[in-house]
Amino acid sequence: MTLQITEEQISKWPPDAQAVVRFLLAKIAELEKRLEQFEGPKTPQNSSLPPSSQHPHAARPTRHKSKRKRGGQPGHRKYDRALIPTSDCDETKTLKPTACRRCGTRLSGSDPAPLRHQVWELPEIRPLVTEYQRHRLTCPCCSETTCAALPSGVPTGQSGPRLVAFSGLLMAYFRQSKRRTALFLEDLLGQPCCPALTVKMQHQVSQALAEPYRELNDALADQPQVFMDESPTKEGPARAWLWTAVAPTFAVFAICLSRAATAIGQLLGDGFTGTINCDRAKMDWHVGRLQWCWAHLQRDIQALIEHPDSPCETIGTRSDEAGHRDV
pLDDT classification of 18: cutoffs 50, 70, 90: confident
Greater pLDDT, 203 or 323: 203
pLDDT classification of 189: cutoffs 50, 70, 90: very high
Alpha carbon distance 35, 37 (integer Å):
5
Alpha-helix runs per DSSP H in the chain = 7-10, 15-39, 161-172, 178-187, 195-219, 261-268, 294-305, 310-326
Q: How many CB atoms lie within 10 A of CB 241?
A: 19
DSSP string computed for 309-324:
SHHHHHHHHHHHHHHH
Alpha carbon distance 171, 198 (integer Å):
9
pLDDT at position 325 = 63
Cα torsion through 31, 36, 39, 43, rounded to 10: 150
pLDDT at position 113 = 93
Res 117 pLDDT > 60? yes
pLDDT at position 170 = 96
Report which of 294, 278, 298 is spatially closest to residue 286, judged by C-alpha positions.
278
Please give the average per-residue pLDDT across 236-249, as a whole number.
90
- As a whole number of Å, the end-to-end CA separation of the chain is 36
Report which of 64, 14, 8, 146 is spatially closest to residue 325, judged by C-alpha positions.
64
Q: Which of 61-75, 135-149, 215-229, 303-317 has the lowest mean pLDDT?
A: 61-75
Domain ranges of the chain: 158-212, 223-287, 293-327
pLDDT at position 1 = 42
pLDDT classification of 47: cutoffs 50, 70, 90: confident
Report which of 158, 271, 150 is spatially closest to residue 222, judged by C-alpha positions.
271
- CB of 132 closer than 8 Å to CB of 147: no
Give the model confidence (pLDDT) of 54-110 as tens digits.
766 666 656 667 777 887 788 888 778 899 999 999 999 999 999 999 999 999 999
Please give the average per-residue pLDDT across 115-129, as a whole number.
93
Give the model confidence (pLDDT) of 135-187 as tens digits.
999 999 999 999 999 999 999 999 999 999 999 999 999 999 999 999 999 99
